[in-house]
Structure 1
Amino acid sequence: MLNINYGHNLALMEKCQRLKEYSIFVDTVRIQCKKTSDPRHAVTKAVDICIEKGILRDVLVKHKAEVISMVLTSFNQKAYEKDLYEEGVEDGIKEGIKEGLDLGRTQMAQEIALRLFQSGNSLEQIAQLTGIDIEVVKQWIEEAK
C-alpha cells in the first residue's frame, strides 16, 4: 500500500503531477478544516486556494460544486463512522463493567456459600441464608471439593 499523503512518496509524486496535486488538495482541505468548525466553509476555502495556486485548477473550476459536495459527503461519512465507533466502544466498556460486576458478585456468593458449608451449615440453610437456589449451592460445593 502506498502512502499518497502530502510529503510522502516524493519520487512517485514527481512522476505523476496529477497525484501530487491531489495530495496537495487533500492536505489543504485538512488544514482548512482545522481552522474552522464549519466544514462547508473549510472545503470551499480549500478549493478556492487550490484554484488560485493552479492545483487541480481545471477540475476544480469545472466541477467546483460537485467536488465540494463529494468532499463534504466523505467528511460527514467519516465523522459519522467515528461517532459510531466511539459509541460502540463506550457501550462495550459499560457492558464489560456490568459483566465484571456480575461475575464478582457470583464469585463472592460462591465464597460465602463455601464458607457457610465449611462452618457446618447444611445446603438448605445456605440456600435460605443467601437466597440462592439450593441446586446452585449444591453445584458450587461439588465444584469446590
Structure 2
Amino acid sequence: MNTANRKYKDSVFVDLFSEDEKAKENFLSLYNALHGTNLPLSCPVENIRLDNVMYMNIVNDVSCLVDNKIIVLAEHQSTINENMPLRFLQYIARLYEKLQTPTDRYLRKLSKIPTPEFYVFYNGKEEYPETTTLKLSDAFMTKSDSQPLELTVKVFNINKNKGAELLTRCKPLEEYSLFVEEARIQTQLDSENGFTNAVKICIEKGILKDYLLRKSKEVINMLVAEYDYDTDIAVQRQESLMIGIEQGISQGAYQTKLETARLMKLKNFDIVVIKEISGLSELEIKNL
C-alpha cells in the first residue's frame, strides 16, 4: 500500500491497516472478515486517504479502494459521536471529487462510482453494544417513508471483553484490541512508563509481535501523540463548556438587571436611583 503520504497524525490503528509494510495484508484480513470473502494478497488495494482530514479530526481513519468499493474505516477511542454519518457524508463527497475527473459529472452517460462502505471500530472505556448501526436519516428534522438521502455506518465494539465475533475472524484486529487493552492497563499502573511496558509485555505474549519488534519506538511515540491529542481535545471541550456556562450566567444577570429597572420605571422611581440600583446606563433604562 502507498506509504508516501505521512502528513496525518500517526496512530497505531492507521499504521497497521494503512501505512505499515504489512498494512495491505492486515487490511485484506479485515475486509475478508467483514464480508465473508477470501480476497488474496494479490488483490489490488489503493490507499486513498484524504490529504486534509478536517472532517475526521478526532478519529483515525483508513480509506481504501478495493473490489470496486471504497472502504472507510475509523477508530474511536472516546464516546461514539452520533454525527459520524454526517461526517462520513462530507468525507465521501471529497473522496469522490478526488477520484473523478472534473468532466465526469457532466457526461451524458452514467458515470459509475465505487460503492462506499463505512465502519467504526470502538475501543473506548464506556459501555457500548457489540454492534450497532448509525443512520444519517436519524438526524433529519422531518421524516418521510422514503428518505431522499441515506448513509449508514456500522459500528463494532472491539473491546475484547465484548466478545465481538469480528475479532475471531480477523487476527490483526483481535491483536490490536488486546494491545490497546494492555496499554490501558499499564498506563494506569505506571503513567510514565506504561506505553513502554505495554509494548514489552505484548511482545512477550506474542501480541502484534512482529510489528512491535520492528517499530516499538515509533509505536510508543504514536501512543504518546494520541494520548496528548485526546487530552487536548478533552481540555478544549471543558473550556468551551465553562465559557458557555459563564456566558449563560452573564446573560442571565443582565436580564435580571433589565427586569429590575423595568419594574422600577413602572413605579416611577427616579432614573438616577434606577441607575444606581440596576447598574444600567441611562440610555438602556430609557429604552426599556
Same fold (TM over 0.5): yes
Task: Quote how far apart the aligned CAs of 1:94 are.
Answer: 1.6
| Alignment partner of 1:88 is 2:240 | yes
2:274 to 126, 130, 138: 130
Q: Which has a greater percent of helix?
A: 1
Quote the Cα distance in structure 2 between the aligned partners of 1:135 and 1:86.
34
1:36 to 190, 213, 220: 190
Q: In structure 1, what is the equivalent of residue 251 of structure 2?
A: 99
Trace 1:1-145 onto structure 2 (pairs within 5 A): 1-38=155-192, 41-116=193-268, 126-131=270-275, 133=282, 136-137=285-286, 139-140=287-288
One-letter amino acid matched to 2:190: T
Q: Distance in 1 between matches of 2:214 and 2:164?
A: 28
Once the two structures are superposed, residues 13-63 of structure 1 have per-residue CA deviations (whole angstroms, 9 ceiling, x without a partner) of 11111111100000111111211232xx11001111100100000000011
- State how far apart, in whole Å, the 2-side matches of 1:45 and 1:11 are: 29
- Larger Rg, first or second structure (1 or 2): 1
Q: Give the secondary structure class of the aligned counterpart of 1:2.
A: strand
Q: What is the Cα deviation at residue 134 of structure 1?
A: 6.5
Instruction: Give the AA of the match of 1:127.
Output: I
Residue 104 of structure 1, CA deviation: 0.9
Question: What displacement does 1:133 show?
Answer: 3.2
Instruction: Give the letter for the 2:164 counterpart.
Output: L
Supply the distance in 2 between the matched residues of 1:90 and 1:19 (Cα, whole angstroms).
38
Letter in 2 for 1:133: E
Asked if structure 1 preserves the Cα contact closer than 8 Å seen for 2:156 and 2:164, the reply is no
Q: Which protein has the bigger strand share?
A: 2
Mapped contact 1:127–1:134 kept (Cα < 8 A): no
TM-score by length of 1: 0.80
Q: Distance in 2 between matches of 1:63 and 1:103?
A: 60
1:98, CA displacement in angstroms?
A: 1.3
8 Å Cα contact 2:157-2:164 kept in structure 1 = no
CA distance in 2, matches of 1:81, 1:134: 43
| Unpaired runs of at least 5, structure 2 | 1-154, 276-280
AA partner of residue 210 (structure 2): D
Equivalent-residue separation in structure 1 for 2:212 and 2:191 (angstroms):
23
Q: Which amino acid aligns with 2:198?
A: A
CA distance in 2, matches of 1:93, 1:80: 20
Q: Distance in 2 between matches of 1:14 and 1:37?
A: 31
What SS does structure 2 have at the residue aligned with 1:98?
helix
User: Unmatched 5+ residue regions in structure 1?
Assistant: 141-145
Deviates most, 58-67 or 95-104: 95-104
> Which residue identity lines up with residue 158 of structure 2 in the other structure?
I
Change (3 A) 1:71 1:15: same
